[in-house]
Chain A
Amino acid sequence: MRYSTPRPSNSVRHRIRFPVDLPRSLRLSTPVSSSSPAACADLHTPRAAFCFRRILAGRLFIINKSGGLIYYKDYGSAGRTDTNDSLRLASLWHSMHAISQQLSPTPGCEGIDLLQAHNFDLHCFQSLTGTKFFAVCETGAQNIEVLLKVIYELYTDFVLKNPFYEMEMPIRCELFDLNLAQVLQKDRVALLGR
């Protein structure tokens, strides 16, 4: 069992699962062999363990379609970012994502999906509804796109299906927190045990 917490029944899960046949806008520029079901299976492979360890050095942001921060998690970065700064960073990213689409020399731009800085890499994944997931991780970290899609899957399962969750509002869903932490924790244990 991947999760000890109750999950939706298999049939429902299968129907609402992250679509295997991704629309063009969601496809990665470099083909990842695993789409969703495989991405889940991928959690148990060393490569996924590697990428999970990598994100632990950075931060994870989820912003709604108007640029408001709805989820923020810090995985041990140096210094402290206060709440106002994380809100500012989130909305700044939202606007730069939009500007980068304006500046494209060829039509059909969907915004930044990888920013390479000297000390870190920032990977961004935008869902069809405009919710953006972005993670700051070490330079050269692999498979973060897959990880962000796994997080997107957790978001659809435990946030969007939560009847008490209001759309576009900050995520305060226990199950989401729990499962995200569990996925990361399980992987860290797997990594240390090896």
Chain B
Amino acid sequence: MQFFGGGSSLTSVPPDAGTPAPAAPPGTGTGGGPSAQVLYVFNRGGVCLLYREWHRPLRTLDPTQDQKLMFGLLFSLRSFTSKIDPTTAEKGNLGVPLLPGQGCSFYSFKTNTYKLNFLESPSGIKLILITHPRTGDQRDTLKHIYNLYVEYVVKNPLYAPGTPIK
């Protein structure tokens, strides 16, 4: 079963397809297409499982610092959005770690130079895809990447959970 397999394109994998690869959502290239610039995958504890970059002219920090900063930003943004959410009355305290799926989360933010797309799975896996600011909604792409992770990483018997994906 796929966690995010709500979309018809994701669940309609023909049984005789041979490979268990989830079908890509329409209009998606392999892993985000040419507009994707950077991809991060974090686990629940903040370990960076995967880092890929396709277009990154500016580097202000070394990779580990950069990954820590990114995880910290997402952590704070999560607690910020769940606290500032105007539609729910009971919100708890600011800064208390939230469980995956608890409170109001966010799926993207946009600056003038990039757009960050974010997906958190129920098990706490965080997928971050940085794209060009003009790209549209990338939620389906992230679900597709998550399904690829489930198929080829989680189901790989040689993979030790919590270690970088090789």
Contact = CB atoms under 8 A, between A and B. Distances in A.
Q: Do A and B come from one complex?
A: yes
Interface of A: 29, 57-59, 77-79, 81, 85, 88-89, 92-93, 95-96, 99-120, 122, 136
B159 interface: no
Given A89-B80, A99-B72, A117-B107, 14 more contacts: A29-B133, A81-B84, A88-B94, A93-B80, A100-B109, A104-B113, A106-B114, A107-B58, A110-B113, A112-B109, A119-B86, A119-B87, A119-B104, A120-B104
A104 B114 contact: yes
A111 B109 CA distance: 10
B2 interface: no
Contacts of B73: 96, 99-100, 103
Contact of A79 (B38, B90, B105, B116): B90
Contacts of B110: 29, 112-116
Interface stretch (B9-17, B49-57, B141-149): B49-57
Interface in B56-77: 56-58, 60-61, 66, 69-70, 72-73, 76-77
A119 B111 contact: no
Interface residues of B, number: 43
Contacts of B151: none
Interface of B: 37-38, 53, 55-58, 60-61, 66, 69-70, 72-73, 76-77, 80-81, 83-91, 94, 104-114, 116, 130, 133-134
Contacts of B72: 99
Contacts of A57: 86
A59 B84 contact: yes
Contacts of A99: 69, 72-73
Contacts of B70: 103
Contacts of B85: 117, 119-120
A29 B112 contact: yes
B105 to A, nearest CB: 6
Contacts of B108: 115-116
Nearest to B117: A116
Nearest to A89: B84
B86 A104 contact: no
